[in-house]
Structure 1
Amino acid sequence: MHSRRVISKEMPDFDQRIWLFDTARIPRIIEQGELAALEQPPRPSELLAGCPAPAPVS
């Protein structure tokens, strides 16, 4: 059986177009990327981390 994880990645919105050699904007690009990552919903494994393990079946 094959298992596949789907990861949604939203691109941050920038106030101006970013060109290849806009190296002065790298700190702002990183900041926007971090903010976009914080807005992503948590993974199911993270949601279940605080739940107790199921009882063993005998």
Structure 2
Amino acid sequence: MGKFTISKRNDEYQFNFKVGHEEIIRLSEMLTMTAERDHGIESAKNNASIIEVVDKTCE
């Protein structure tokens, strides 16, 4: 299962989405408003439901 991590630097926010062994698969740009950050995270969550996962480790 993945997780979103939010960081703040110089009054700007950035989020990333990590899976597995902390591999970053989504990194946002630097955002100035928390509403932008929250919208970006919600958008990524909603769009993730249409992504197909192919696990080639089980072959």
Q: Same fold (TM over 0.5)?
A: no
TM-score (norm 2): 0.33
Larger relative strand fraction? 2
TM-score (norm 1): 0.33
Query: Which structure has the larger Rg over C-alpha atoms?
Result: 1
Taking CA–CA contacts closer than 8 Å with sequence separation of 6 or more, which of the two structures ends up with the larger relative contact order? 1
